Amino acid sequence: MSTPSTNAENTAGPWPRCPEAAAYFQALFTDFAHQNPLIAQLAQRLEIEAGVDILALVDHWILPPSGGLTEKWEALGLVKNTLPEGDDVWEHPGARLPRLRVKSKRTTPCLALGVENIAEFAAKNNLALEACHGHEDSAYQCGHLSLPHGELMPIVRRGYGGFAPGKPPVGLEAARADFAARLRTDDDQASIATAQEIFEKHAATLGRGRATEEFFAAERAYYLARNAAARWQYARQEAIGIGWANHDHHTYRCSRAAFPALIRLFVMMGFICRERFYAGAEAGWGAQVLEHPESRVVIFADVDIAPEELDLDFAKIELAPRETLGTIGLWCALHGSSIATAGMHHLECEFLCQRIKDDATAAGHLVMAPFTELLMLWQAFTVGEPWIVAPERLTPLVAAGHITGEQAEKFATVGALGSHLEILQRWEGFKGFNKTAVSNIIRDTDARRN
């Protein structure tokens, strides 16, 4: 398989706020729910039982034709895209908003909700679907339920942006087994090389989009086994049949030595480098955001950087060793890098922030003070999951002066901050992040401060 150029990147920013476009979709849903009580009930259940905003699950709408409709969409910033299968779809290039389609035979709207398993979603919400097209392991599957004034269409998509139901790809089970069992060692470079070898092997048969979906499904499962707050929330989402359909981004921490190789791995998978973050000399970290054009997966990759490196494109340039360890470097030294033994630092999903915060607190999963409270974005971590650190990791850190003997004893007996679940809510279609706020939370979750 050929490796794509790392020059294919979008560094434009900041991402726009799109209040008019977001208001259009809100009004579309409000009207649809008013005319179809089942949808209003489903939205309420998602909120009360899982703290999830149904709007975060809307994949697309199919509307009947009407005069001036597509012109209105274009005025809101949506652009027309013709897919390889010939379908026309309108989408906003700079916002996290649903897509739109028009079908001449429709007389009422159709709401397409993204879930992880249609049969489970239908069973757990007592929905008697009239039809279901596509295999449950295909790249795209859609169910159909007629409503008084429209249609509900639960869908599953895996690394595919079109609308054609299909069959499961050859080699799927082998890929899932290999991704779940891939070797994770304390050697970051070896872990990255193994991940690349496995990915390239299965992408050759599955395609990069589908292989990416399966790779990160396995990454979420590994993370889930190491974070109690995430298991609690995932159980709630499974009970209502959506799985991790509301995931926003996956956060990877990496050592300086392995960071360029990690970014090259993600680019090989088909990710496009988005904005880069430089938190400033006092914060000591940087990040590369990556987005996949076929899969829904977004990555936030963190690394320690020095003040003189603030202007470097550290996704491509080898980073020299440093004598000091920042928050990211220390976390990796204590637990391993995310691509290796540690797993993801956190998974961030879209929620109704106040509801999930209250529910988590009541269940014993405390939530830290929010580090972003903006008109278009709200973010907070659950209190970190402590992980016991092995003595062989602690001894060299004490000898090098990165931690004290007292801290080492605490990390060996009580543990050091490991992973979190991140609570996020977006408004106005905003798909970016808040650099200053992220810098604060990275500082506040340094193991030496806790």
Domains 19-157 and 173-449 fall in the same CATH topology: yes
Mean local confidence (pLDDT), 97-108? 96
The percent of residues above 70 in pLDDT, for the chain, comes to: 93
Output the pLDDT for position 438.
62
Can you give the C-alpha Rg of the chain in angstroms? 22
Output the pLDDT for position 114.
98
Q: In the numeric block, which tokens belong to residue 267?
A: 């680019």
Mean local confidence (pLDDT), 178-201? 96
3-state secondary structure of 155: strand
Output the pLDDT for position 323.
85
User: What single string gives the DSSP state of each residue in 172-197?
Assistant: HHHHHHHHHT----S-HHHHHHHHHH
Give yes or no for residue 225 having a pLDDT over 60.
yes
Give yes or no for residue 165 having a pLDDT over 50.
yes
Output the pLDDT for position 385.
95
Backbone angles phi, psi at 200, to 5 degrees: -60, -40
Range of weakest confidence among 9-13, 39-43, 332-336: 9-13
Mean local confidence (pLDDT), 65-73? 96
Output the pLDDT for position 2.
30
Residue ranges of domains in the chain: 19-157, 173-449
Give yes or no for residue 313 having a pLDDT over 80.
no
Output the pLDDT for position 312.
74
Output the pLDDT for position 308.
75
Give yes or no for residue 6 having a pLDDT over 50.
no
Q: How many CB atoms lie within 10 A of CB 213?
A: 21
Peptide bond between residue 396 and the one before it cis (omega within 30 degrees of 0) = no
For strand 140-147 and strand 247-253, is the pairing parallel, antiparallel, or unpaired? unpaired
Give residue-wise pLDDT tens across range 352-409: 999 999 999 999 999 999 989 999 999 999 999 999 999 999 999 999 999 999 999 9
Output the pLDDT for position 440.
64
Give yes or no for residue 436 having a pLDDT over 90.
no
Per-residue CA distances from 440 to 288, 303, 365, 366 (Å) = 17, 15, 21, 19
Give yes or no for residue 443 having a pLDDT over 70.
no
Task: Please state the pTM of the whole predicted model.
Answer: 0.93
CB 421 within 8 A of CB 227: yes
Report which of 222, 211, 284 is spatially closest to residue 250, judged by C-alpha positions.
222
Output the pLDDT for position 446.
74
**DSSP 8-class letter at 50:** I
Output the pLDDT for position 5.
35
Give yes or no for residue 279 having a pLDDT over 70.
no
CATH number of 173-449: 3.10.180.50
- 236-250 per-residue burial string, b: 16 or more CB within 10 A, e: under 16: bbbebbbbbbbbbbb
Output the pLDDT for position 8.
38
Output the pLDDT for position 450.
72
Q: How confident is the model at residue 415 (pLDDT cuts 50, 70, 90)?
A: very high
Output the pLDDT for position 317.
82
Give yes or no for residue 325 having a pLDDT over 70.
yes
CATH architecture of the domain with residue range 19-157? Roll (3.10)
**DSSP 8-class letter at 253:** E
> What is the C-alpha to C-alpha distance for residues 379 and 372, in angstroms, rounded to an integer?
5
Left if phi > 0, otherwise alpha if psi is -120 to 50, otherwise beta: which for 143? beta
Output the pLDDT for position 437.
59
Give yes or no for residue 127 having a pLDDT over 70.
yes
Per-residue CA distances from 417 to 26, 202, 313, 330, 384 (Å) = 38, 34, 29, 11, 5
Output the pLDDT for position 12.
36
Give yes or no for residue 441 having a pLDDT over 70.
no
CB 249 within 8 A of CB 292: no
Q: In the numeric block, which tokens belong to residue 115?
A: 């879930």
Output the pLDDT for position 340.
97
Output the pLDDT for position 305.
86
What angle (nearest 5°) sits at the alpha carbon of residue 304, between those of residues 301 and 305?
110
